[in-house]
Structure 1
Amino acid sequence: MKIQEVFESYINSDKTKSSLKAHKGKVDKYISFTGNQDVETALVESLLRKYIFEDKELKPKGKYDALNNFYHFYYEEILKVSKRNVPLFPIDTKELVSWTNKEKRRPVYFPKEFDFNCLFEDRYYEHLNNYGAALAVKASLSLALSAGYDSGEMFPTNGEHEKAMKMDDVIIEGDYVKVRNFSSQSTVPFILMRGKNAEYIKEYHKLRMSFPIKKAWQKSHFIANTWKTNELSFDPKIASRVYIPHDLVSYMLKYISLKEGVPTPLITDLRANMVLHSLYNSKGSALQDIIELYGFLPFVKQAFEEYCMTTSRDKEPIFSVLALEMVQSEEAFNDEEDEKKKIESRINVIDRLVRDSVKVKKLKKIYGNSCQICNEQITFIDGISYSEVHHIQPFNKFHQGIDDNSNMIVLCPNHHKIFDMGIIALDPENHQRILHVDSKNHLNQKMLVASKHQLSSTHVRYHYENIFMPLRESLLETRKQEVL
C-alpha cells in the first residue's frame, strides 16, 4: 500500500478531524520528502529521523507529533492493530527534549556500571533468526565502540554512498584488525583493534567476502544487507520491518536497551559512550590518548564534560603553586631573551624550594606517627616513635611536586617505599581508596585507616598517571609475553 493512499484515507477520516489541521501539512511534506513509496518503507526510522531532525524548515516537535499521529492511524485504522500491540514509533520522545534550533541533542549515556558485553550476547539476537544479520549488527557495534565510528561513517546517509565505509577500509592482520580513522583532526590513518570486538569484525568480514550482495549501491560498502528482509523476525512492539543495516542496528539497540532496562542511545551515541567509559575505567588518564586519536571533536568534548559532571573532584586550581611560580618567572622575561635563560629560571625556582620540616612535623603529629595505610607505629623506646612523610607527586626537579600537606601522606617505611615505586597509589576518584598494581593483592581497594587532612586531586592524579599506571601496564605486558 502506497503512503499517498494512506494519507488520503487519513485526511478523510472522522477520527483525525481534531488533529488534521495541525498535522495535515506536515505529513504532506513528509510524503513529498520520501516520495510515494510503500508505506512501511516510507515510515522506517532512518527517513523519519532525517526529516524530523535534519530538515530545519520546521521544529522537530511539530513534525514528530504529526508523523506519530499518522503512524498510529496507519496501524490502528488501516491495519486494525489494537492500540497496545502497535509497534513503538521509531523515535523516542526523549530525543526531542534536548533539541533546539541551534544545538543538537546531547548523547544518551549508559550508566557507569553498564557491561557493554551484553550488547553482543547471542540470546538477544536469536529472535532475528538470521546469522548474517546478527553479525552485521555486532560488527557495527564493534566499530562504534572500539574505533569511534559514527553512523554516517558506517552507513550511507542522505544518499551519499561514497562517504560510507568501504571494504578496503578494513585490513585483517593475524589477531589484529585495522580500520580507517575517519577523524579529520587525527594524523593516525588507521585504528588498531584486537580482542572480542576485533573477532566480531573478522567474523563478519569473512561472511561479507563470500555473500553475494544484491543491492548494487551496497556492493562496495563494508556493512551491507547480508540477509533478506523477509527472512528476519522482529518484536512488533519495537519495529515492523527493517530494510537497511542502519535500521537494523537501531532496532537492536532499542531491543537490548529495553531488555536491560537502560536508556536507548542512538548509534551515533556509542562513540561518546566509548570515550566516557574509557575515562571511567582509566580514571581520566585515557583522555590524552583519545585526543591524539580523534582530536577534541564534539563527541570527545561532550563525553569529557559528562565525566567531569559525574565524577567527584575537590574544587581546587588545576595548576600547582609551583607551576604558577614558574609561569610568573617566565613572564618576567622579554621576548628578546633566549630559551636558555627560561630553562635556567625553572631550575632556580625548583632549587630554591626546601623541605618545610615544620609542616612535616605537624602532619606526623596529627596522625600520631602512625601509617595511614596500615596504622602501624614504629616505637623505639617509650615516648619516641617514627614515621615518614611521602610526597605523592614527588618533590624533585623532575616531577615538580610541592611541599604542602595536600601533597603529603604519613606512612611507615615499608609502605613509603612501595608508594615511591608506584606499586600502590591512591584512587584519583576517591582519595581514601588504595590501588595496587596487582588487583589480587590484599591492599587493592582497601581504604585508608586514617584520613584527617585533604589531599589534592592534582597530585593524586599525577602519581596515578605518571608513576602507578606505567608500572602497571609494564607488568601486564610482561605477563602477556610470558603467556605467549
Structure 2
Amino acid sequence: MKIQEVFDLYVKSDKKQSSLKAHKGKIIKYISFIGNQDVESGLDEGLLRKYIIEDEKFQPKGKYDALLNFYNFYYVEVLNVSKREVPFFPIDSKELESLESKEKRKPTYYVKGFNFNCLFEDRHYEHLNNHGAALAVKASLALALSAGYDSGEMFPTNREHESAMKMNDIFIEEDYIKVRNFSSQSTVPFIIIQGKNAEYIKEYYKLRESYPIKKKWQQSLFIANTWRTNELNFDSKIAQNGIYIPHDLVSYMLKYISLKEGHPNPLITDLRANMVLHSLYNTKGSALQDIIELYGFPPYVKQAFEKYCMTTARDKEPIFSVLSFDSIQSEDNNNVNEKKKVESRINVIDSLVRDSVKVKKLKEVYNNSCQICGEQITFINEISYSEVHHIQPFNKQHNGIDDKSNMIVLCPNHHQIFDMGIIAIDPENPQRILHVDSKNPLHQKILFASKHKLSSTHVRYHYENIFLTLRNRLLEISEQGIH
C-alpha cells in the first residue's frame, strides 16, 4: 500500500476535525518530501529523522506530533493492530525534548551591520514615562555590550544570589569606569569601559546613589528598582504580565526596541553573544584573541564564533604548495614488476599570506616613520621606506595574526632587533619600550605618535615568549661570567 492511499483513508476517517486541521498540512509536506512510496518504507526511521529533525523549514515538535498521529492511525486503523502492540515510533520524544531545549539555548542575533546605538535612543523609552527605569535599562545594556554581563550577573531573580553585581563592583573615574569581570574563565579581574557606554552607566550610578531602595534584597545590588512599579507604563501587547524587577524590564525593552526597529526575530535573549559576534564582524575576526583573554571560551563565545564562521566568507583562498612522495608497487607471485614511481600529491598549507593592503594603510598612517626612533628613511624623489613588524610573529611557530592590532611600523634596524627579542613593548604599558639592557637609551622609551591600538594579547605573547627568553638567557650567561 502506498503512503498516499493511507493518507486518503486518514482524511476520510478522522472524526476530530481539530486534529486533522493541525496535522494534515504537515503530513502532506512529508509525503511530498519522500515521494509516494510504500507506506512501510515511507515510515522508515531514516526518512522520519531527516524530515523531523534535520530539515529546518518547520518546527520539529509540530512535525513529530503530526507523523506520530499518522503512524498510530496506520497500525491501529489500517492494520488493526492493538494499541498495546503498536511498534514504538522510531524517534523517541525525549530526543526531541533535548533538541528543543538545545534550540532554546541558542542566542538570537541582530543582523550584521545592526546599529546598537538605537538601543539607547530616547524615543524608545518615552512610553515608559519613568526616567529611573530608562536609566536602569540603558546601564544594563551598556554593561552587557561592553563588559559581557548577562542578566543573572546584573540582577538575579533569585534574591539569595550573592555573586550578582554590587555597588562596590564598579569604580567611577573621570574618563572611564572599571567593573568587575564576572567570567570564571578569565584571569583579568576588571574591565575598563569608555565612551558612550561608560556615560550611560555613570548616569545611572548617580541616580542609584541618591535613590532610596526599599527592597532590602536589592539595596546592595547595582541594578535595582529605581522606579515605582505602579507608575511604569508599558505596551501590554508585548508584556502580558506586570514588570516587577529589572530583569523583566530589560527583557521587555529589548523586545520592544527590536520590534520598533523592524528586526525579523525580536526575541533577543543574549546581548553578550551579540557583542561577541558583532565584534568579530567589525574586526574581521581579529578580536577573537582579546575576547578569549577577557571571557575565556564559554558557550556564548563559542556559539557566536560558530555563527561568525557560518556567515562570513573567506576573503581569499589559502596558498598551497605540493608535497610529493613515491609509492612503490609490491612484488606479485614471484614476478618482480618494474618499480614504478607513482607520484601522489597532497595539498598542505605551506605559508601564511600577509595582507599587503593592511600593511600599506598602516605605513600611510605613520608616514613611513619608525615608531621606535621616529626616523623616516627617504630615497630619491621623496620616496620613503618603512617595514611593518608583527609583534606576535605571523608564522606557524608563533601563530600571530595578520591584523593591525598585532602590527607596528619600524625602520629596518629596529625591525631586526624587535625580531630578535632585544626590545619589546611593555605589556603593562603598551606605549613604552623595554630593552634587555636596562641601561640602554631605548629602555622605557615612549613610542612615537601611537595612532592605533595594540592587542594586549600579542604584546604579552612577544614579551613572555621572545623578549624574556632572550633576557633570561643573557642573565644566565652574565652570572656564569661568560663574556
TM-score by length of 2: 0.49
Between Structure 1 and Structure 2, the one with more helix by share is 1
The structure with more radius of gyration: 2
TM-score by length of 1: 0.49
**Larger RCO: Structure 1 or Structure 2 (Cα < 8 Å, ≥ 6 residues apart)?**
1
